[in-house]
Amino acid sequence: MGGVDQAADAGADLVMFPELILSAGYSLGDKFHDVAEPIPGPTTRTLGEKAREHNMYILAGMAERDATGTVYNSAVIVGRDGELAGSYRKTHIFTPTESFFALGTKLPVFSLDFATVAIPICYDLEFPETARVLCLKGAEMLLTITAHWEGTGTVGTSENFIRTVYASRALENRVPVVLCNRVGFDPGLNARFIGLSRIVDSDGMTLAEMPDDREGMIVATLDLAEERQKRLKYNYFRDRKPLLYGPLTELD
């Protein structure tokens, strides 16, 4: 939990950790069932103790096992009081490496004391529809935890993929997007996670970023009142034409 202490020393209200970071990596396959936990459960209680100690929010990824034994790739966010503030089950499964996870079926948003947020996971945000639905539901920030790796886990160059996808989701919806990506080598995948975590404002501008795949922490301050004003001034949602968009759900 040294990263939590470091973020607290930096004055952070929210600290994020990557996809599945609480469940021993990414390439366990069926063995995820052995490390998966209920939510809430032992791991979320441990996170809650640290969140309460530092009066901050903590967001992280883990394998979740429900009462039926079904396993999901999930994100949890615990609040300043140490209680579970929300959880989300990944809805878009990357089939080459995630076929052992069940599909989530909901796109929730969560009201925190500074903003309403959504916590999509990795592949979810490669689909613009996901971000749009979450923002239509009231999300003012997209806090996404990921495990992008070289090759199969990205399209084109790693740097261009990361910079384009997350800036696009921010600009399309006029909301800040925060990306926390994993780093390091996974022997099961025989691949390197690319890092490049970043904090992007609602103009699609990068406020802070990790320059490469090293382990580290980035911090930025977002003026959410200013972000809301920018969203109102150049308002994509006001000018939408929903009657034209039926084919999004009708066409395969």
Counting every residue written for the chain, the total comes to 252
Burial of 207 (0-12, 13-18, 19+ CB in 10 A): middle
pLDDT of 25 higher than 80: no
Query: Could you say which of 3.40.50.300, 3.60.70.12, 3.60.110.10, 3.40.1260.10 is the CATH number of the domain covering 2-236?
Result: 3.60.110.10
98, 122, 126, 209: the active-site residue? 122
Task: Categorize the per-residue pLDDT at 82 as very low, low, confident or very high, splitting at 50, 70 and 90.
Answer: very high
Catalytic residue list contains 19 = yes
pTM above 0.85, yes or no: yes
50, 90, 140, 227: the active-site residue? 90
Given this model, what pLDDT does residue 22 score? 94
Given this model, what pLDDT does residue 2 score? 76
Given this model, what pLDDT does residue 27 score? 81
Nearest to 40 by CA among 105, 96, 85, 90: 85
Catalytic residue list contains 135 = no
| Per-domain residue ranges of the chain | 2-236
Strands, sheet with 71-78, edge to edge from the N-terminal-most edge strand: 14-16, 57-65, 71-78, 84-89
Per-residue model confidence as pLDDT tens digits over 130-180: 999 999 999 999 999 999 998 878 888 999 999 999 999 999 999 999 999
Given this model, what pLDDT does residue 193 score? 94
